[in-house]
Structure 1
Amino acid sequence: MDTREFRNCAGQFATGVTIITSETETGTHGFTANSFTSVSLDPMLILVSVDRKTRALSVLENNRFIVNILKEDQQDIAMHFAGRPQKNQPFEWENGMLGKRIKEALAYIECEPWKSYDGGDHVLFLGEVKSFEYHPGQPLLYYGGQFSKIHSNHILS
């Protein structure tokens, strides 16, 4: 099977866009991720999947992290942390309970490390939720290899 075609197939599932931030001795580090999900309510656990080839892997190992869920108008922030830095920093930091987070994100989930697992060419990091906060607004989505937005607030039944 072709890995590129599998990626295209998986891309048919719309996801939110997050910035995962974490503190180290050298400062705050962050990366863009859409491989994020809630895992458990008791205990409260979330999962972030990180490519083994990224620098973020060493930052997250046995380290606290914050999931910053982006709003629909924060695409430039996603690009900045995806390795395409903007001329002017497109965000401000604010202090959270466990480190710095992206000011004015749609939501924050602050985590202590729980466990990590082999995920093939990725490592699956589970975090125990220690604090969370969310605000009104619309999420930035990723679908079919590009950013997208919700076009309606109506739920059809």
Structure 2
Amino acid sequence: MSLLVPSIDPKELRRAFGMFATGVLIVTTRAGERVHGMTANSFTSVSLDPPLVLICIDHRASIKEALNDHGHYGLSVLSEDQQHLSRHFSSRGKEPLDVTFDELNGLPVVEGALAQFACRITQATDAGDHLIYIAEVIGYRHGPGEPLLYFGGGYKQLHKPQVAEMHA
């Protein structure tokens, strides 16, 4: 007995996937002296022991070759005031933007990001129209702040509840 699968509309499926709120990060690597970067929101912590993470990259992404050649990448979790960086690294015809990078274990990471990770690729798995990169975390740091979020096709921010002031 075979199961009939209804036709799936890719645009509607993308909208449905967009109902899962995610953080926003920049994936970076080097090709020679040049830093390559792209915006991503497909990031998962996989394991604490050993420390592993994964990202998913479209087969058509220009960073893919640099990732495969270098074998390492940096991850920068963006703060709520870094939306301009997300937009910059997600556009194909990138307008010039002066981006300041920190170094973490020799890898470029975005200055001022909430969290930064240096990762060594241990596995790349083909999965449909994407590659899944599993990597060992070889360095990290984090600081205070609020995250930049992505939900329903747009950027969002956490809303902090207002605390009523007590008057004597």
TM above 0.5: yes
Q: Is the 8 A contact 2:104 2:140 kept in 1?
A: no
Q: What is the aligned partner in structure 2 of residue 96 from structure 1?
A: 104
1:136 correspondence with 2:130: no
Q: Is the 8 A contact 1:98 1:111 kept in 2?
A: no
User: 1:48 & 1:153 partners in 2: Cα distance?
Assistant: 32
Q: Is the 8 A contact 1:76 1:86 kept in 2?
A: no
Provide structure 2 residue ranges, at least 5 long, that are not aligned to the other structure.
1-7, 163-168
Q: CA RMSD in A?
A: 1.6
Q: What is the aligned partner in structure 1 of residue 14 from structure 2?
A: 7
Q: Is the 8 A contact 2:114 2:144 kept in 1?
A: yes
Range that drifts further, 92-101 or 8-17: 92-101
Query: Could you say which structure has the larger radius of gyration?
Result: 2
Identity over aligned pairs, percent = 36
In the TM superposition, what are the counterparts of 1:72-87 in structure 2 within 5 Å? 72-83=80-91, 85-87=94-96
User: 2:90 & 2:75 partners in 1: Cα distance?
Assistant: 15
Q: What is the aligned partner in structure 2 of residue 69 from structure 1?
A: 77
- Cα shift readout 1:82-125 (whole Å, capped 9, x = no counterpart): 12635542x31122213121111111011011101011000000
What TM-score, normalized by structure 2, do the two folds share?
Answer: 0.86
Residue 25 of structure 1 and its aligned partner are, at CA, apart by: 1.5
State the aligned residue count: 153
User: 1:70 & 1:29 partners in 2: Cα distance?
Assistant: 17
What TM-score, normalized by structure 1, do the two folds share?
Answer: 0.92
In the TM superposition, what are the counterparts of 1:19-38 in structure 2 within 5 Å? 19-38=26-45
Q: Which runs of 4+ in 1 moved over 3 A?
A: 84-88
Give secondary structure in 1 for the equivalent of 2:112: coil
Q: What is the aligned partner in structure 1 of residue 128 from structure 2?
A: 120
Q: What is the aligned partner in structure 2 of residue 147 from structure 1?
A: 155
Letter paired with 2:118: E
User: 1:19 & 1:153 partners in 2: Cα distance?
Assistant: 29
Would the alpha carbon gap of residues 127 and 146 (structure 1) be closer, same or farther in structure 2, given more than 3 Å must change?
same
Letter paired with 1:82: S
Would the alpha carbon gap of residues 22 and 153 (structure 1) be closer, same or farther in structure 2, given more than 3 Å must change?
farther
